[in-house]
Amino acid sequence: MSAGSQTCAPAATSPDALHGAGEHFAAGHMSCPDESAVVRFAHGIHAFLSQCPLPAYRGEALYPCGPSIYLRGHAVEWHYSACMTYNEAALRAKLEAAEDPSVRSALEAVHECLKDYPSVGGYTHSIPNYRRILREGLASYGPRIESRLAIAERRGETERVDFCRAMRIVLDAVRVLHSRSLTAIEAFAPETGTEGAAQAALADAFRTVPSAPARSFYQAFVCVNFILYLDGPDDLGRLDQDLWPYFQRDRAAGALGEAEVLEWLRRLWRNVDESVAWNVALGGLLEDGRSGINDLSRLCVRAAHGMRRPNLALRLHRQAPEWIWDEALDCIASGNGLPALYNEEAYLEGVRGAHLGVSEEDLPDFAFGGCTELMIHGKSNCGSLEGDINLPWVLVQTLDEHLTSSPTFEDLLAAYEHDLAKTIRDLTAAWDANQESKAHYQPQVIRSLLIDDCIANAREYNAGGAKYNWCVVNVMGLANVIDSLAAVREAVYERGDVPAALLLEALKLDFVGHEPLRQRLQTCPRFGNDDPRADDLAERVSGYVFSELRRYSPWRGGRYVPACLMFVTYAFFGLPVGATPDGRRAGQPIADSAGAMQGRDGSGPTAMIRSVTRIRHHLAPGTLVVNARFARRFFTDDDSRAKLKQLIRTYFELGGMQIQVNVVDQAMLEEAVDHPERYGDLIIRVGGYSEYWRFLDDALRRSILERTEHS
């Protein structure tokens, strides 16, 4: 079965009745019961974008602004992260409130169609091809669709015909949304001259973009914001590179002021925050090897001071100018953990070595989605996150079965690797089945329109239509496994002062009645302290897991790409994991990143980076997030700042690919844990992104407090 195949046969219902009930996507989806899934989804999007409530325009420089236009409490919703979702409880509530028999009948038909609709897991971030839209305009997409449709019809390729018909419907839906947006802008009654000028400029821009190519920086800016909201919102990709030609031209003509651009950027960043959008990649190298770090990169960083989002990813190469380092550290010092810093040369090497089929022409356009999942700007489906591998959970099973029967540590380690291999084999098979199911039941029609080469291939995004396909997989709890294995090797096998049976009993009892043993285990080698007894295990285990994952090719195409992207989930993923030999109790959080377990890297920042770079970073270009906390003096004192820069450069030279920094005083964190109500607007770099303190649960807050502050 393909992306265009029949998946359920809903009875025809009254679109007006469903629109009246606020179920706009369902109205379109249910209007064509004999069509394929991809066409029904396209009709759903068209109906939704034609009727959904739009935010009021209030005289801003951009539109839309504020929350996403999707996910508004409907029974049937569309969103990039899950495509179509059905909330039966919401539908039942509408049924109880409905007085019109036609509305009740329509809602009941929706339930009958979707009650057994196959559920799919996973989600993916992505980046539309903003650059193409800015250069060509969406009006150029129509002829491309029609040309591909004619070929498919001539060849009798029914599925491709359906796909092209769906793209025609979605493109028209974008036109409808654009027209409604322009109407909302023009209907605004300004109260000040400033609001009137903003309204006139925005309306003028909307009369050009996104249909026609952008002619100015402001038009390009307006276009990017509109497409961002259309797509989810999700990610902006290489924004400074996409907008740079327009910025450079307008600035040279004297038509653009820095203060004005900063104001627009701050408004866009607020949109990203308020709409729960995600990543922006800045800097890096260009196709010809020149630096892509420019004045717009600088303004993008400067505009982010004190903001939670976007999740800025600054690509730093060896020739990066000193001023961008200082701009980055100034922004980090504002307390938001932005930007995260990326090793350009290591990523280029890692992507090449991952055999993902990325051309040298497209390679410089690597960017990130969500937290920091690797993708190619405008041309990829990276399956982020396709799935998770909980390494400590597997270790608990291995210890339970093999600890007392393994005569040597090498035997135990081999048993663990065997269990990892089986787990990875089983997981990849399940992920493959889920990908196929998504292609059948959850076509991504908006992304199929906006991302190359879906139209050229006449193939839907979830079915492998994008030019590049791979699947980013989250590898969790590496530091816990390293510390646990180091403890078992020393206490059980080398010194022999802890019998295997006693350790296994203590683990099963969650150390109840075995506190002296737990304290003994905590004296064993710890990852993050430049101790080869732990770091050798880091190299071996990471190399094994990453290499084993990379052996498998996903159903959609490409490769499985390892990453460590714990964002705010490391406490959740610790819940099912029993007690571990590193002294961690059952259910407690696991490591928050690819670095040391929180609070265990006590030998200084140099020791920490030497340990972390023993992990095989180049085998995991999906991104290995590494968290670090530094005292504020590293940002305020010139000599300390110079040392911090050199430390990060050294980390990059040793092969580290990504690092993100928090600057929060320990005393403030302690008070924030005890009195969270006083620190609702405190921003913390958690895992792969920054988050407000008020959104973190107590386990996460306490784990952040435990992080080592390097001083």
Query: Over the stretch 195-246, which tens digit does the pLDDT of each residue have?
Result: 999 999 999 999 999 999 999 999 999 999 999 999 999 999 999 999 999 9
Residue boundaries of the structural domains of the chain: 15-114, 256-378+626-711, 387-624
Confidence band of 695 (pLDDT split at 50, 70, 90):
confident
pLDDT, average across residues 626-655: 91
Confidence band of 336 (pLDDT split at 50, 70, 90):
confident
SS (H, E, C) 503-570: HHHHHHCCCCCCHHHHHHHCCCCCCCCCCHHHHHHHHHHHHHHHHHHHCCCCCCCCCEEEEECCCCCC
pLDDT of residue 9: 47
pLDDT of residue 705: 66
pLDDT, average across residues 665-686: 68
- Encoding tokens for residue 561? 């790409």
Within 10 Å of residue 562's Cβ, how many Cβ atoms?
A: 27
CA atoms of 506 and 578, how far apart (whole Å): 11
pLDDT at 6 exceeding the cut of 50:
no
pLDDT at 567 exceeding the cut of 80:
no
The SS3 call for residue 167 is helix
pLDDT, average across residues 276-291: 96
- State residue 690 phi and psi, 5-degree precision: -95, 150
Q: What is the percent of the chain with per-residue pLDDT over 70, rounded to a whole number?
A: 94
| Bridge partner residues of 77 (DSSP) | 85
* Residue scoring higher pLDDT (350 or 667): 350
pLDDT tens, position by position, 115-150:
999 988 878 899 999 999 999 999 999 999 999 999
Question: How deeply is 341 buried, as exposed, middle or buried, from its count of CB atoms within 10 A (0-12, 13-18, 19+)?
Answer: buried
pLDDT, average across residues 402-420: 98
| Bridge partner residues of 474 (DSSP) | 388, 563
Provide the whole-model pTM.
0.93
pLDDT at 7 exceeding the cut of 60:
no
pLDDT of residue 694: 72
Confidence band of 438 (pLDDT split at 50, 70, 90):
very high
pLDDT, average across residues 534-548: 97
* Residue scoring higher pLDDT (688 or 662): 662
Average model confidence (pLDDT) across the chain? 93
Q: Encode burial over 197-208: b for 16+ CB neighbours within 10 A, e otherwise.
A: ebbeebbebbeb
pLDDT, average across residues 413-442: 96
Peptide bond into 64 cis (omega under 30): yes
pLDDT of residue 384: 85
pLDDT tens, position by position, 160-192:
999 999 999 999 999 999 999 999 999 999 999
pLDDT at 615 exceeding the cut of 60:
yes
Q: What is the percent of the chain with per-residue pLDDT over 90, rounded to a whole number?
A: 82
Confidence band of 97 (pLDDT split at 50, 70, 90):
very high
pLDDT at 681 exceeding the cut of 80:
no
CA atoms of 98 and 335, how far apart (whole Å): 49
pLDDT at 4 exceeding the cut of 50:
no
pLDDT at 50 exceeding the cut of 50:
yes
Q: Which helix (H) or strand (E) holds 311?
A: strand 311-316
